[in-house]
Structures are given as C-alpha cells and as structure tokens.
Amino acid sequence: MTLNLKNFLNPKIKMSKMGEFQELQHIEGLKISSISADLYGDGRDDLSLFYFQEGANFAALYTISKITSASINWNLKIKRHFVKALVVNTKNANTFTGIKGAQGLKEIAQSLSKALTLKLSQSPEGASEIVKITDLLFASTGVIGEDFPYLKIKNRIPELVKKLRTEQNKFIWFKAATAMMTTDTKPKLAYEECKIGNKLVKISGIAKGSGMIAPNMATMLSFIFTDANIPSVFLKAILRKVATTTFNSITVDGDTSTNDMVAIFATGKAKNSKIYNVLDPKLQDFEKALHRLALNLSKQIVVDGEGAKKFITIKVIGARSTTMAKNIGFSIANSPLFKTAIAGEDPNWGRIVMGIGKSGENIIPNKMQIKIGDYLVAEQNKTAKDYKESDIKEYMKWDSINIEVNLNIGNAFHTVYTCDFTREYIDINADYRNN
C-alpha cells in the first residue's frame, strides 16, 4: 500500500481527505511494542516503546513554547546523543502537572531501566549491559493540566517490555502510529529508501497531529527511524534543514503545543561508510529521501486537520527573502477569515489581500499578482482584467486548493500548507476532553 501523493501534488486532481498510509519496512536494530495502559478507559492502545538493541544516534527538535511538558523537560536534560529507548503515551500531556508529573516520569524511567536490563540479562547472549535512565527519551500528548497517570503506565512497563517485537510488519507499525493518536482520524505513516554510497538505507516514519501544530521547530509528534550510520551532529543539521520546509511549514489553527517534538533515530545497521562531514556528497540522497518522508507526513497531518475538508497550498514567490515569503504565507494560512472562506467555497480573494497586508511585510501592491488555482484574480492593486468569478466558484469546490501570491520584488519563495476552518473544528475542540 502506498500513499497516493498525486492527490497532494497535482492541482488538477481532487484530493481525497482519507489517503492510504504507506506500508513501512523493517528497520534492523529496532524493536517495537504497543499496548493499552487504559489511559482512555476503553482498552485502546495508548502506550508505545521503541527499543534500540544496540542503541541509536538521535537528533530532536522541540516546541518553542515557553511552557513545556515534563517529557520534553526530561529530554532536554539528556545531553547524550546516543539513546536506547523512546516511550510515547497519549491521552495525557504531562504538562502543568508540577513536581508530581516530573517525579512520576522518573519512576517510569526507573521501572523501564530495570525491565530492559533484566530482559538483556535473560537474552540468549546473556548480556550484562545496564540500561540507564539517561538512555531513555519520552514523549507525551493529550490533555494539559490533568494529573499524570504514571502508576497506570508504570504498572504496564513489564508487559510493554515483554511484548517487544524484532520484526516490524505493517501491523506493528500501524499499532504504534495509532497508539499516539488523540483527535486524529487516522494514523500517519511514511517510508523512503535511498543509498549512502553503495548501501541501501531504509527510513520509516510515523506522526500524530491534527490541530495545535505551529511550533516553528517541529510538529505535534513525529518519529523517524533509519538504519543509516550517521553521527548525531549531522542528523541534527539535516533534520533542522528538512523541518524548515516540511514540519515547520504547516499550520491548522496557528496554535503552538507544549509537547511538540520531532526526532530521528539511526541504528547504524545499514553499515554504510562513515560520514565525516555534513556536506559529504554521500548524504545528499539521504537528505532528499528524508525531506520526501517529512513532507509526506506533514501533508498527512494537514489533511487530517480537525474538521478539515480542504487541503490548501499557499505559495509565495517573488519575495525579498525566504523569511518574508514565509511570514506572508503563514499570515494568510492562519487567518480564520481566509480559512472559513475556503470552507464555504466563497471566492472572496479579498481575504488573501487582507492576509498579505497584516503580515507587516513591506510589499508593493502595484507589483503584486494573486492566483487561485490557475486563475489570475488580482494584479497591479486591482481585479485582474480577465477575472471571472464563476470560474473561481467552480474551482473552490475542489478538495485541494492552490493559492499563489507573486510579490514581484525579489527571487525568494516559500510554500505553506494548511486546511480550511469548519464548524466541526469547534465541535471537536469544544468537547475535546469528552472524546
């Protein structure tokens, strides 16, 4: 099964909101388990463990919110660039939970450390390695300000470790992606391959998120796993670069979560030749593949925006700088007036003009052009000469809407991805804790 990206990339084709997820491949050196800690009270999977048999190099980007979860605070204190495991829980964000939330997380870490160490000692190899709490990373998503149910999670650690599986089939990946969903309607999965030198490298990624995803550094939660042998410092540089035009270029509602995190883990099992420089030509294909995967996941998140019916691409070209183009793109994308116009299939391009104007950027209206789809709607500070509202009305019925703003004052550009704003968004978020 593959995600039909033509729905995203071809403006001539109506986009199906429910895209197919990709069948992820096995990543050597990784074990996964997903179970229920009954955090939702209905028995659904809500807790996952990703265990790296011989450790993994990793890099992560986190929310820029000034209020962060206990999980992110824990990760930020880990100064190592080599880890043994990642634990992810849903339903509870463990944010604004005070010292109890932090202490509860520490107790979980201690239990997991003991359980993994015991499992290693019972392995056929009889390994005597100790898994330290500083070898562990955490991620949480869910409701802010509710007591962290650490005992429920702690009590399930033995089973979580017991059910670790070496072979990751599509069912295992699906369970892991589903186990971290909140208001998501479907899991997000993506897969890519590339070569580093003459070695085939695999990249598997999962994500969750459907609202509150404008973190400027990451997305809600996204975890990427590869068998590539790449030092952590280079992983960080590549991830930061890739995030700029993927996770960092999407928005649903303009809000920033306290828990946003994207991380990449490299097991080194592909045994590609050593990389000594981030500019090494051997990394070019890897960076391109990682970008394709991250963009795929980012678009899946936007498509699954809370109550979303339409996928919107906003391309700003002819800007003085990339920053200028990005600011204008997000100014349009985060406008409730613009998003509701798209939802109502109203060809009110004046709301695009409004979004450009409120960006604070120094534009020149007389030079500007605005397109909706292939149709020029405005230029030189007025309605385009051949503008026909009937054409735009018909185009607005599509599920995939393209907006292009040409500032005609430079050569820089940036693309932002968003969705419309519907009544369903209000319904979902007004009753979020009861879902």
Boundaries of every domain in the chain: 18-303, 311-434
Which stretches in the chain have pLDDT values below 70?
A: 1-21, 125-127, 210-219, 428-435
| Backbone dihedral angles phi then psi of residue 187, each to the nearest 5 degrees | -75, 160
Assigned architecture for domain 311-434 = Roll (3.10)
Give CA–CA dist 64/214, Å, rounded.
10
Q: Which position among 90, 95, 219, 245 bears the catalytic label?
A: 219
Q: For the domain 18-303, what is the CATH code?
A: 3.60.70.12
| Backbone dihedral angles phi then psi of residue 249, each to the nearest 5 degrees | -125, 25
Give CA–CA dist 237/239, Å, rounded.
6
Q: Is the pTM of this model over 0.75?
A: yes
Q: Quick check: helix, strand or coil at residue 366?
A: helix
Give CA–CA dist 224/122, Å, rounded.
29
Instruction: State the Cα torsion 415-417-420-424 to the nearest 10°.
Output: -160
- State the pLDDT at residue 132: 96
For residue 219, indicate whether it is catalytic.
Answer: yes
8 Å CB contact between 66 and 207: no
- State the pLDDT at residue 209: 84
Crossing angle between the packed helical segments 322-333 and 350-357, to the nearest 10 degrees: 130
- State the pLDDT at residue 122: 82
DSSP 311-343: EEEEEEEEESSHHHHHHHHHHHHT-HHHHHHHH
